[in-house]
Amino acid sequence: MTKKLKYLSYRILFAAGAGTILLFISLALLWFFSLQHALNIIPVLLLTFSIIGYYFFLFRWIAIPYRETRKIYEQFVMGYVLNDLFHLRHPLTPESDQAILLLNEMIDKNHLINVSKKQAEYLALQNQINPHFLYNTLEGIRSEALLAGLDSIAEMTEALATFFRYTISQVENLVTLEDELANIENYYYIQQFRFGEKLALHIEYDHDDELDELEILQFRLPKLTLQPIVENSIYHGIERKIGKGNLVIRICISNERLRIRISDDGMGMTEEKLKLLNEKMRRLTLDDVQEPENSRKGGIALVNVNNRIKLLFGEEYGITFYSREGAGTDVLITLPLVCES
């Protein structure tokens, strides 16, 4: 019986039965006291408080769970949640619960995830250039630059080859935070050829004494999570800024979560734009996952990175923006603590 009472339909039936019994008892008591000419304020108060308690019970036991379930249904219809639908605490009926479980089995989440991965496989190549041809070409350019004494060109070419090799290979795997940060440092090295001293990168750690930096660096996350956000911070925040721009990556472990905050002191954004961007990030926008043309040329759309995190780990994880116009932007990435790929 206890298992059945998790369903709202059974709770309503139980409450209706209890309400009917309460009504008959109330009428019987009133009739009894009227016959005895002993009707006074005490039984009336008892009945009144019983009725009030019953409706309070209905509110806590049925109304609140129903609102919670209805909200999840509404959010699913609007595209805000996916996994929450399959973990309802208070299903409407056993039949609806079975239908949702069947839907969960029918949906090919791996297909959705793989579609999103394909957005990340070719960051700048966009699935058009054979990677081996690219590596060989870049190595040829590097060799010619070294022979000509153009060391800076050789170093930039080598950095570019390393960047593409990391970007293209084994995108389906989770990688260590150490690998992701190494890729960011390589990407920053490439950007320095363009921005010079205008751009500065800092990586900071905020953690308790139980974990050292080496342990933190072994936590895993989806490949190519950080680079698109760093790229967005540079091109939309720092590039348009007059003077030097600073990019800070802060890594924090708290409440069994990995939080990475990427901050720039660039141009920032308006409250309206910030609200729209966060609204989009809260949604699991599968249309954007499936349409590569929505991605900005030369990079992975941030919505695709956000979708991939949510598909892999759940709606409670993902990307949140904080910004003020003229004061810079913070991008908070929230991930579970994953130690194995």
**In contact, 124 and 168? CB cutoff 8 Å:** no
Where is pLDDT greater, at 253 or 160? 253
Identify the pLDDT of residue 3.
67
Which of 2, 285, 96, 117 minimizes the C-alpha distance to 85? Answer: 96
Identify the pLDDT of residue 71.
83
Which of 243, 255, 225, 194 minimizes the C-alpha distance to 119? Answer: 225
Tens digit of each residue's pLDDT (9 = 90 or more) over 180-203: 999 999 888 888 877 888 889 999
The mean per-residue pLDDT over the stretch 309-319 comes to 85
Which range, 85-89, 299-303, 319-323, is most confident? 319-323
Which range, 52-56, 87-91, 195-199, 218-222, is most confident? 218-222
Q: Is 126's pLDDT higher than 50? A: no
Identify the pLDDT of residue 135.
62
Where is pLDDT greater, at 333 or 94? 333
Q: Is 171's pLDDT higher than 80? A: no
In order of 19, 47, 245, the CA distances from 44 in angstroms are 17, 5, 74
Residues 6+ positions from 69 with CB-CB distance below 8 Å: 8, 88, 89, 90, 91, 92
Q: Is 286's pLDDT higher than 60? A: no
151-168 vs 177-195: helix axis angle to the nearest 10?
140
Structure tokens at 321: 């923006």
Mean pLDDT, the chain, as a whole number?
A: 77
Residues 6+ positions from 329 with CB-CB distance below 8 Å: 233, 236, 237, 263, 264, 266, 268, 269, 321, 322, 323
The mean per-residue pLDDT over the stretch 252-269 comes to 91
**% of the chain surpassing 90 pLDDT:** 15
Q: Is 120's pLDDT higher than 90? A: no
Q: Is 294's pLDDT higher than 50? A: no
Identify the pLDDT of residue 265.
92
d(CA 179, CA 334): 18
**In contact, 330 and 246? CB cutoff 8 Å:** no
Identify the pLDDT of residue 181.
95
What is the band of 128 on the pLDDT scale with cuts at 50, 70, 90? Answer: very low
Where is pLDDT greater, at 174 or 34? 174
Tens digit of each residue's pLDDT (9 = 90 or more) over 232-243: 898 888 888 888
* Least confident among 42-46, 113-117, 137-141: 113-117
d(CA 164, CA 121): 10
d(CA 280, CA 276): 6
Strand partners, 328: 324
DSSP 221-236: EETTSSHHHHHHHIII
What is the band of 296 on the pLDDT scale with cuts at 50, 70, 90? Answer: very low
